[in-house]
Amino acid sequence: MVGRLQGELKQNKPFASIEVEAFLNLVRTADMLGRHLGGLLKSHDLTMTQYNVLRILRGAGPAGLPCGEIGARLVTWDPDITRLIDRLERRGLVVRRREDQDRRVVLVRLTGAGSAFLATIDADEQVNSALQTALGHIPATDLAQLITALENIRDHLRSEARP
């Protein structure tokens, strides 16, 4: 049975393997979900990665986090956390401060303005309903199976990356 992706991509030849087809489906779907939510965040002049950083810092509380820890917690990898933090700091949403005990460690904290900004986004009904709109039609049992499959892929890739 040929999946729909082949037609969406206007590809005449079948995929080389089921793994290739699954991978391309994952990438295509992640892109579509990202554009769906990203378009809504754009109205707040925010990228998905910036939004992710702000939410990470809100969860960290007043202690804040070092840049490296923020990078480790990001949903999608970003090689330039420093520049990302720079943009948020220029907007007054975060503040950086060197730690007293170890001056090499720079902690990033959410400002009051950053908390208020996140509250505005939290109250945005379009943002709130974006994932419900995108995924709410799928039965919870199917979503649970999808989550398990995706976690298995990440676990396997982590184990393959270890020396």
151-160 pLDDT, tens digit per residue, is 999 999 999 8
The DSSP-derived string for 84-113 is: HHHHHHHTTSEEEEE-SS-TT-EEEEE-HH
Whether residue 133 is contained in a domain is answered as no
Give the side-chain half-sphere CA count within 13 A for 141.
0
Whether residue 39 is contained in a domain is answered as no
CATH code, 121: 1.10.10.10
Whether residue 53 is contained in a domain is answered as yes
Average pLDDT over residues 74-87: 91
Paired residues of 108 in beta bridges: 65, 96
* pLDDT score, position 120: 93
Rg of the Cα atoms in the chain: 19
* pLDDT score, position 1: 52
Residue 60: domain span: 45-125
101-121 pLDDT, tens digit per residue, is 777 788 999 999 999 999 999
Whether residue 114 is contained in a domain is answered as yes
The share of the chain scoring above pLDDT 90, in percent, equals 66
pTM metric for this prediction: 0.84
Contact assessment for residue 88 and residue 94, using Cβ atoms and an 8 Å cutoff: yes
Whether residue 20 is contained in a domain is answered as no
End-to-end CA distance of the chain: 39
CA dihedral 17, 22, 26, 28 (to 10 degrees): 60
10-41 pLDDT, tens digit per residue, is 888 999 999 999 999 999 999 999 999 998 89
Whether residue 120 is contained in a domain is answered as yes
Q: How many domains does the chain have?
A: 1
